[in-house]
Amino acid sequence: MKMVTEAQIGELMREIRKEKGFTSIEIANRLNISQPKLSRIETGTQPVTISLLSRFCDLCGISLSEFFRILEDKISFQTHIKENARDYCGEIPSIYRLFTDLTREEKEAIIVLIQAFKKSG
């Protein structure tokens, strides 16, 4: 795994929190920290302790190892995109146009398909 930044950890915490339906106030209260502190952690301006991260993972129903696996996958994907940006840049406008022309139901179906594809890989 490449060097992980506080910002990357915080960003993933925010994504998981939102995915699980928690507001920042709810999760901060459950972690016994202030909402501003959680905000600083999620933006990477304050480091998170492994103890706090472990409690966060418990509240969100994932293991600490799963958190780091997700983080590693995300960093690998971002690195791949950055390293191969020229290959993708030409496609982004056309993909965006295709996606925006879809109905809400079609967009949701595409998202489910991408998530299923991601899980099978």
Instruction: Tell me the per-residue pLDDT of 62-83, one tens digit each, with 9 for 90 and over.
Output: 999 999 988 888 877 666 666 6
pTM: 0.67
- pLDDT of 90 reads 65
- pLDDT of 85 reads 61
Q: What angle do CA 3, 33, 40 make, to 5 degrees?
A: 45
Over pLDDT 90: what percentage of the chain?
Answer: 51
Q: In angstroms, rounded to a whole number, what is the distance separating the alpha carbons of residues 10 and 71?
A: 10
Q: Which ranges of the chain have pLDDT less than 70? A: 1-2, 77-92, 96, 99, 120-121
At 65, give phi and psi (nearest 5°).
Answer: -65, -35
